[in-house]
Amino acid sequence: MMEAHLLSFVKRVNCLSNHDRSGDQLISSEFSLIRKKTASLKEDYGLTTNAGGMKENVKKNRYRDILPYDQTRVCLTPTTSEYQSDYINANFVKGAVRNRTYIATQGPLSSTVVDFWRMIWQHNVKVIIMACREIEMGKKKCEVYWASTSDTSTLGPFTVSTLEESRPNEEVIVRTLVVNYCDEARKVSHFQYTAWPDHGIPDMPDGILGMMELARQKQGNQTDPVVIHCSAGCGRTGVICAVDYVNDLLLTEQIQEDFNILDLVLELRRQRPSAVQTKEQYGFVFHTVAQMFQKALEMKNMNADTSLYINAVPPKISQKSASLAPARAPAKTRNPHLKPRLSLPQSTMNDTYAVINKSKVQAPNSAPHSVTVHFYDNANSEKTNNSAVYSTVKPKTRPVSAMPLSPSPIHDRPMPANQRGGLSLKKMESDGYELLPGELRSMNRDSQPHGPPLSRSPSATESQSSTDDDYEYVSSVVKDGSSPFAPGSLGFNSRIKKPKGPREPPAEWSRAER
């Protein structure tokens, strides 16, 4: 009969998941009702917070508005003369079965770490569940009350060391702590869930359920309370208490037709203030419980041992988009996400290099669509021979007497960028490129400056054109044009700009270099 109730709840939550807007409205309306009834609970049960508001105890509260109810608060017994106070911000919370009890408490402060261990020792706690990280969003959420694996911490009359530490998955850290007090040593299992975002909810409940399964195995049949805390000890702490409470109802087959999350959260809030603190956390309880019920139904159908918690796995998709349909086979491994290409090192291009055309010949046994055609800035896509290794660069026709032909290629070193003004490039002829002036040979055609060229005087603007008369061809420093390799020659061809004004060098040529 209980299976029908489980199936009904799963269908209800599944319907909420498929209609996000109506589902959010239902969750919002129920949570608003919880907040209204919480005020009446305090009046109906006479709940007070006098101990937490006392002057000597105010500094022991992490948050001023989260104070433990006097009716269910944990009272400490004196240990040493230095630690006589009985106050700690913690409450007992009853479980679904008689031998199940929780202690919901805040994350210890630096001034209350000793009180925290006093509570652990006094109630013989074997399992601690921590639902937060020490620092979240740049704020300290909980004091570190344990020691690293290579160290030992002395906290008042207690000595705490970490025997071992492991990570069963990316979300959970499991520690085995050893606590010594008055020549007696006890082991405490510590479970820390690190993937619960502050002011949010986990993407999927699998990690929480997996951690709680491990904690339940450590707890076994012991009747000692389980300590659960986050930062304030109400929001995330309340969610874990609610989920574990439902787990016990399942194991003892106490799920009735009138089962609902609203009454469960109200019962928790009667014992610990603000348990399940936000609407998002309230909705997360719905989805987590529905996943537990789904698991229970599957195990019933398989006639296997009921294991309501699921092994912890890293979150895959957001909780809102999670489907509550029957579990499917694991999806195939997805292709890795494309990573942005690293930018190539930028070349200063202080020298002129030959440009090699990438071969467009299709590799053997490769698919036709795998060939990528590249077009380079210095290649004419219509006339370039694809089989050629080097692109053809056709120099401009020059008078033979002025510039003898040379069997070797001509390489000129470009001038610095600050000397490129006053010159402009000719348009490329359809049958190739012309040889560019030395000052501009390294410039990419796409990066040419636009607008009128710079000039030294207004009258020289029109005369600054790249014509044959602007340059004279010099084969050597001496006026011997018989051979470019005559004694005293430059050894290479170069063109020198004809002077346009007086023979005296410009003033900027005489400036000292910095």
Contact 425, 466 (CB under 8 A): yes
CA angle 289, 290, 294 (to 5 degrees): 120
Q: How far apart are CA 380 and CA 402, in angstroms?
A: 30
Question: Which residues share a beta bridge with 47?
Answer: none
Contact 484, 406 (CB under 8 A): yes
Q: Name every residue whose Cβ is closer than 8 Å to that of residue 85 and which is 6 or more positions away in sequence.
A: 56, 57, 76, 115
Structure tokens at 175: 């520690």
Buried b (16+ CB within 10 A) or exposed e, 366-400: eeeeeeeeeeeeebeeeeeeeeeeebeeeeeebee
How large is the C-alpha radius of gyration of the chain? 40
Q: How far apart are CA 80 and CA 77, in angstroms?
A: 10
353 CB burial (10 A radius; 0-12, 13-18, 19+): exposed
Structure tokens at 97: 């079965």
Q: How far apart are CA 173 and CA 210, in angstroms?
A: 12
DSSP 311-342: ------S-STT---SPP-PPPPPPPPPPPPPP
Contact 261, 282 (CB under 8 A): yes
**Among 411, 416, 374, 420, which residue's Cα sits nearest to residue 393?**
411
Query: 229 φ, ψ to 5°?
Result: -150, 155
Catalytic residue list contains 230: yes
248 CB burial (10 A radius; 0-12, 13-18, 19+): middle
Q: Which of 132, 230, 234, 241 is catalytic?
A: 230
Contact 190, 177 (CB under 8 A): yes
What is the SS3 string spanning 143-195? CCCCCCCCCEEEECCEEEEEEEEEEEECCEEEEEEEEEECCEEEEEEEEEECC
Contact 89, 239 (CB under 8 A): no
324 CB burial (10 A radius; 0-12, 13-18, 19+): buried
Catalytic residues: 230
